[in-house]
Amino acid sequence: MFQKTSLVSVKSHSKLYKDIENSLFNTSLFFDHHFNYNDTTIADPLYKLDALAHLTIFMCKNDRYEDSVYKMGYYILETYK
């Protein structure tokens, strides 16, 4: 019985790890596309950066127009260059 429970626990931790890894990979793809491939955002990196931060960092759990979203957008802009 104990071995079965441990195996389930290990499987769920493994799935959680893979989900986090996939999420981080997708987030890096979103930022890469925003700053390097989209012609509109290459010309103006602030264009829709608040929406990108709201979606990827805050995962839509707070109001899109909060100050924290804009602060994170500026932080991303400064650190991603």
Q: Are 27 and 56 within 8 A, CB to CB?
A: yes
Enumerate residues 6+ apart whose C-beta is below 8 A from 35: 41, 42, 45, 80, 81
**pLDDT at 25 (0 to 100):** 94
Question: What span, in angstroms and rounded, lies between the C-alpha atoms of 50 and 74?
Answer: 9
Check residue 64 and give its pLDDT: 82
Q: Tell me the pLDDT tens digit for each residue of 14-62.
A: 888 898 899 899 999 999 999 999 999 899 988 989 888 888 888 888 8
Q: If DSSP codes are grouped into helix, strand and coil, which group holds residue 30?
A: helix
Least confident of 5-9, 28-32, 69-73: 5-9
Q: What is residue 6's predicted lDDT score, i.e. its pLDDT?
A: 61
pLDDT of residue 61: 83
pLDDT at 57: 84
Per the model's pLDDT, the better-predicted residue between 6 and 70 turns out to be 70
